[in-house]
Structure formats: structure tokens, C-alpha cells
């Protein structure tokens, strides 16, 4: 059907049908919806549909745009989200959406995407960690063993238990 945005300012309520073309909100006459709010910039934010999803973009406003009390630059919108621009609030209207549109705009959908991203990130970071370990082992295997370590290893080995440590050291260090 349609994705409708409810905009509540001090004494007015607007219902806007979102489309693929950006819909701007601000104090300026150039904005699609002019709101008299001193905390809004001339062109404060824009809203549009992309792939059937609603998105909000802050247009480098002075006071910013918050989504669920967090400052944002751009974000998808969900049914339970509350956008604040100055003293104006914006929410999505569920009653006019189709079942598919509701599914795209529910927090369950957001959680599923977040879980997939977390799985992808943890898998890639785990793979990266394993690669780093392999590189470190290969580098250690190629590095020459310092003489003091060879001497320590020779003194502590089982086959040299009966020999005197000084004789072992002189042999390793080639002292005659």
C-alpha cells in the first residue's frame, strides 16, 4: 500500500507518503515541509524509500537529528523508532502498510540483520586472528635461534645431563 510518516510538531500533525524521491523537512521555504521550529536548520533532514525501506538522512543540520536518542547521519527507519528534529517528532504509521512492508520495518528484521552482521564480523575477525597466528609461527620458525638459547636448551636436554655445563657451553660457542 504505502509507507506513511507521521510528523508531529508543536500544534500540528502531518501524514506524508514516502517515495523514492527525497522529502525534505526544515525551516526553509525550499524544504518540502516547512516547520517553524527554531531548533531546525533551513534544510534539516530528508526521508525517502530505497528498496521498499524508509531511510532518514541528516542534511548537516546545526542541531542534528536523533533516532531513539542517538545522533545519526543516515539510518533506516523501523516501526518502533522515534526521530527527533528540534521539537518535532517523526514516526512511521503501521496501519497503511502491507504485511511485507511491516516485515521490512519491524525491529525483528533489524535484529536479524544485526545478528548476521555480527556473525560475519566475528567470523572474519576469527579468520584474521588465525592468519596472524600462522604468520607469527612461520616467522618464528625462520628466525635463527640465539646462541644463549641454544646453550640453555643444550644444558637442559636429557642426553647432556651427565656432561658438565662449561664443556657444553665451550662446544656451542666454539671456545677452545
The more confident residue out of 159 and 92 is 92
Render pLDDT for 36-86 as a digit per residue (tens, 0 to 9): 888 999 999 999 998 888 999 999 999 999 999 999 999 888 888 899 998
**Region for 174 from its dihedrals, namely left if φ exceeds 0, alpha if ψ lies in -120 to 50, beta otherwise:** left
- Grid cell locating 155: 644444558
- Find out whether 25 and 31 touch, Cβ atoms under 8 Å: yes
Q: What is the per-residue pLDDT for 167? A: 63
Render pLDDT for 120-168 as a digit per residue (tens, 0 to 9): 666 566 667 777 877 777 777 676 766 666 666 655 555 555 555 556 6
Angstrom CA distances, 110 to 75, 96, 103, 138, stand at 11, 20, 10, 42
- Find out whether 127 and 133 touch, Cβ atoms under 8 Å: no
| Rg from Cα positions in the chain | 33
CA atoms within 13 A on the CB side of 27: 13
The residue count of the chain comes to 176
Task: Name which of 8-22, 96-110, 162-176 the model is least confident about.
Answer: 162-176
CA atoms of 99 and 85, how far apart (whole Å): 29
Task: Look at the pTM and tell me if it is higher than 0.75.
Answer: no
Rounded to 5 degrees, what are φ and ψ at 87? -100, 15
Amino acid at each position: 500500500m504505502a509507507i506513511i510518516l507521521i510528523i508531529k510538531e508543536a500544534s500540528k500533525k502531518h501524514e506524508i507518503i514516502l517515495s523514492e524521491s527525497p522529502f525534505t523537512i526544515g525551516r526553509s521555504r525550499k524544504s518540502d515541509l516547512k516547520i517553524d521550529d527554531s531548533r531546525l536548520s533551513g534544510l534539516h533532514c530528508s526521508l525517502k524509500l530505497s528498496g521498499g525501506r524508509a531511510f532518514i538522512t541528516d542534511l548537516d543540520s546545526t542541531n542534528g537529528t536523533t533516532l531513539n536518542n542517538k545522533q545519526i547521519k543516515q539510518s533506516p527507519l523501523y516501526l518502533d523508532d522515534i526521530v527527533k528534529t528540534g521539537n518535532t517528532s517523526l514516526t512511521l504509521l503501521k496501519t497503511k502498510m502491507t504485511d511485507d512492508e511491516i516485515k521490512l520495518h519491524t525491529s525483528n528484521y533489524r535484529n536479524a540483520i544485526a545478528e548476521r552482521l555480527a556473525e560475519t564480523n566475528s567470523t572474519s575477525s576469527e579468520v584474521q586472528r588465525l592468519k596472524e597466528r600462522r604468520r607469527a609461527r612461520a616467522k618464528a620458525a625462520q628466525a635463527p635461534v640465539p646462541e644463549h638459547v641454544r646453550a640453555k636448551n643444550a644444558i637442559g636436554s636429557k642426553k647432556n645431563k651427565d656432561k658438565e655445563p662449561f664443556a657444553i657451553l665451550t662446544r656451542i660457542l666454539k671456545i677452545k
